């Protein structure tokens, strides 16, 4: 019997698991996917917003501003990447200036520190590529950028270090309330028992709700956002997160420097009926290009190395919905977590944990360790350190991914680590093999072979991303 089953291993489920692992409780995180953070958490703008946008008084506003500050602690404890870019919200008309002043007041009301307004002359020094008609900007120095997948991965790794468990490819298909807790059915087959459930299922959180007789007032209205990713050699084209004025579709199309040097351009915003259709569309991408051109001149779109889409778990409730179910006590919904959910995540995790522990007390552990050791890529080590490692294991000398300079030994470690992966994309996320300019064109087949050798599976059974997504279907040439 678990004390807590957390449904969903996105940034919300994993950070809650880490917070709850401060207590003497048996915790399990489940995800339908083949890895942590394969939902909204892998496909977003990666911005740790300052908090100028949410309506004052909402949970979004309070937890965004608090979460932004908490990322500084996460950086120290979990060794996650954090780029302190600051942000500029750009105004081009007199009407925009009125809006900009309103946003400044709103930011100050929300408690955002160091907010200011700057004119074109100062602006052009900071960002020489902005459009000619930009006249003023709201400056938000506390805006940062992270690598969201790694934050969730690190939080889960640290929660596991502190006793929590994670199970991938575990789709929750039914929930039954019993006197002493819940029976949770996985993949229509296996059952697991738990005293409490935390629903952190992202776009599917309303479907978890309907597995019980709960009538909590939220439903998810999935909203797609599409992006272009510019090559890392565009680094420096912009140094700040650049926002346009917000409109009825949200914060608009942004230019965002990424922690690995790329520039992200997007997202679009369109309601969709299919919650897991992550295909990009010609309309979506052309919307992104048109709107991005209003922010900056000569954006190097020719350097686009890939496109992707993410789906926001926007809700009919209008704010984050974080409550224990009235009809089904012991079931906690952490739902409707769209933007700024990545930013707010550490604050949401602390808020949920306080709510849960107040309702169902557990003693605090005396030996909780908040530190996740810093991961190092071989390419970033100094020469002397590299030589020592190569002497110990010459697979460090075999560079598999030429673009990102990732070695065979690093790929093997990523397969066998405590949060190891046996999919092509799982390896890419862990050690960046295939994340460079050629996007795996050179190294993917080599990674495939290494996974097959290390796991003992045939090449045709190695998945690209999710379960049953092999790249190879059958042999086409037989060598004797």
By annotation, the residues acting in catalysis are 49
Asked if 30 touches ligand FAD (CB under 6 A), the answer is yes
Rounded to 5 degrees, φ, ψ at 340 are -100, 60
Tell me how far, at minimum, the Cβ of 282 lies from ligand FAD, in Å.
18
Selected from 5, 6, 7, 175, the binder of ligand FAD by CB under 6 A is 7
Asked if 4 touches ligand FAD (CB under 6 A), the answer is no
The secondary structure of 217-273 as a DSSP string is S--EEEEEEEEEEE-GGGTTS-SSEEE---BTTBS--EEEE-TTS-EEEE---EE-S
Tell me how far, at minimum, the Cβ of 269 lies from ligand FAD, in Å.
8
Selected from 106, 144, 312, 428, the binder of ligand FAD by CB under 6 A is 312
Q: Any idea which residue has 């996460």 for tokens?
A: 74
Asked if 426 touches ligand FAD (CB under 6 A), the answer is no
Task: Give, rounded to a whole angstrom, the gap between the first and last alpha carbons of the chain.
Answer: 54
Asked if 198 touches ligand FAD (CB under 6 A), the answer is no
Name the DSSP class of 363. P
Q: With respect to ligand FAD, which residue has the nearer C-beta, 83 or 403?
A: 83
Residues 152-171 contacting ligand FAD, CB under 6 A: 170-171
Asked if 38 touches ligand FAD (CB under 6 A), the answer is yes
Contact between residue 90 and residue 295 where contact means Cβ atoms under 8 Å apart? yes
Q: How far apart are CA 76 and CA 187, in angstroms?
A: 38
Selected from 9, 78, 216, 433, the binder of ligand FAD by CB under 6 A is 9
Count of residues of this chain found to bind ligand FAD when the rule CB under 6 A is applied: 42
Tell me how far, at minimum, the Cβ of 262 lies from ligand FAD, in Å.
15
State which residue has the least CB distance to ligand FAD.
Answer: 341
Residue 413 burial class via C-beta count within 10 angstroms: exposed 0-12, middle 13-18, buried 19 and up: middle
Q: With respect to ligand FAD, which residue has the nearer C-beta, 150 or 410?
A: 150
Q: With respect to ligand FAD, which residue has the nearer C-beta, 312 or 372?
A: 312
Tell me how far, at minimum, the Cβ of 226 lies from ligand FAD, in Å.
8
Selected from 51, 54, 310, 330, the binder of ligand FAD by CB under 6 A is 310
Selected range binding ligand FAD among 30-38, 284-292, 351-359, 434-442, rule: CB under 6 A: 30-38
Tell me how far, at minimum, the Cβ of 343 lies from ligand FAD, in Å.
4
Asked if 13 touches ligand FAD (CB under 6 A), the answer is yes
Residues 41-60 contacting ligand FAD, CB under 6 A: 41, 43-47, 49
Selected range binding ligand FAD among 33-41, 96-104, 189-197, 428-436, rule: CB under 6 A: 33-41
Tell me how far, at minimum, the Cβ of 144 lies from ligand FAD, in Å.
10
Contact between residue 399 and residue 407 where contact means Cβ atoms under 8 Å apart? yes
Which tokens hold the place of 423? 């999919």
Selected range binding ligand FAD among 202-210, 279-287, 401-409, 469-477, rule: CB under 6 A: 202-210
Selected from 202, 244, 330, 426, the binder of ligand FAD by CB under 6 A is 202
Catalogue the long-range contacts made by 372-379 (C-beta closer than 8 Å, 24 or more residues apart): 372/77, 372/78, 372/79, 372/154, 372/157, 372/158, 372/161, 373/79, 374/79, 375/79, 377/405, 377/406, 377/410, 377/431, 377/432, 378/405, 378/406, 378/407, 378/409, 378/410, 379/404, 379/405, 379/406
Residues 329-388 contacting ligand FAD, CB under 6 A: 337-343
Tell me how far, at minimum, the Cβ of 70 lies from ligand FAD, in Å.
12
Q: How far apart are CA 21 and CA 158, in angstroms?
A: 9
Contacts of 125 (CB under 8 A, 6+ apart): none
DSSP H/E element including 47: strand 47-48
Rounded to 5 degrees, φ, ψ at 389 are -65, -40
Of 156, 138, 175, 209, nearest to 419 by C-alpha is 156
Residues 217-246 contacting ligand FAD, CB under 6 A: 225
Strands (E), 53-106: 82-83, 87-91
Tell me how far, at minimum, the Cβ of 153 lies from ligand FAD, in Å.
12
Q: How far apart are CA 354 and CA 386, in angstroms?
A: 45
Of 67, 61, 24, 52, nearest to 362 by C-alpha is 24
Q: Which residues bind ligand FAD (CB under 6 A)?
A: 7-13, 30-33, 37-41, 43-47, 49, 170-172, 200-204, 225, 267, 310-312, 337-343
């Amino acid at each position: 019997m678990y004390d807590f089953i957390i449904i969903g291993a996105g940034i919300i489920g994993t950070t809650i698991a880490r917070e709850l692992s401060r207590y003497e409780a048996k915790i399990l995180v489940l995800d339908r996917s083949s890895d942590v953070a394969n939902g909204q958490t892998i496909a977003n703008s990666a911005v740790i917003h300052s908090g100028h946008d949410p309506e004052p008084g909402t949970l979004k506003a309070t937890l965004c501003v608090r979460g932004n500050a908490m990322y500084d602690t996460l950086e120290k404890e979990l060794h996650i990447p954090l780029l302190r870019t600051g942000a500029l919200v750009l105004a081009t008309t007199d009407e925009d200036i009125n809006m900009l002043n309103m946003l400044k007041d709103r930011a100050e009301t929300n408690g955002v520190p160091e907010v200011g307004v700057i004119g074109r002359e100062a602006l052009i020094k900071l960002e020489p590529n902005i459009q000619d008609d930009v006249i003023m900007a709201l400056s938000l120095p506390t805006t940062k950028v992270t690598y969201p997948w790694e934050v969730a991965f690190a939080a889960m790794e640290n929660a596991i270090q502190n006793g929590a468990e994670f199970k991938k490819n575990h789709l929750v298909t039914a929930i039954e309330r019993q006197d002493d807790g819940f029976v949770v059915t996985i993949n229509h087959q296996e059952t697991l028992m738990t005293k409490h459930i935390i629903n952190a299922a992202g776009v599917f959180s309303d479907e978890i709700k309907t597995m019980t007789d709960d009538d909590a007032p939220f439903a998810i209205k999935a909203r797609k956002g599409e992006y272009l990713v510019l090559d890392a050699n565009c680094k420096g084209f912009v140094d700040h997160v650049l926002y346009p004025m917000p409109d009825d579709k949200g914060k608009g199309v942004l230019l965002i420097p990424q922690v690995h040097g790329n520039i992200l351009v997007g997202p679009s915003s369109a309601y969709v009926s299919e919650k897991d259709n992550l295909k990009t569309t010609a309309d979506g991408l052309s919307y992104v290009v048109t709107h991005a051109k209003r922010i900056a001149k000569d954006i190097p779109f020719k350097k686009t190395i890939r496109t992707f889409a993410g789906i926001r778990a926007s809700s009919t409730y209008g704010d984050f919905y974080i409550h224990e179910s009235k009809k089904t006590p012991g079931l906690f919904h952490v739902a409707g977590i769209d933007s700024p959910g990545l930013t707010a995540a550490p604050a949401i995790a602390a808020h949920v944990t306080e709510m849960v522990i107040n309702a169902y007390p557990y003693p605090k552990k005396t030996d909780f360790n908040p530190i996740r050791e810093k991961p190092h890529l071989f390419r970033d080590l100094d020469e002397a350190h590299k030589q020592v490692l190569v002497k110990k294991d010459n697979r460090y000398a075999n560079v598999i991914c030429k673009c990102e300079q990732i070695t065979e030994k690093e790929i093997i470690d990523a397969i066998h680590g405590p949060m190891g992966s046996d999919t092509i994309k799982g390896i890419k996320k862990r050690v960046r093999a295939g994340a460079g300019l050629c996007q795996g064109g050179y190294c993917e087949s080599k990674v495939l072979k290494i996974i097959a050798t290390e796991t003992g599976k045939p090449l045709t059974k190695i998945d690209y991303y999710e379960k049953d997504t092999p790249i190879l279907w059958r042999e086409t040439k037989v060598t004797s």
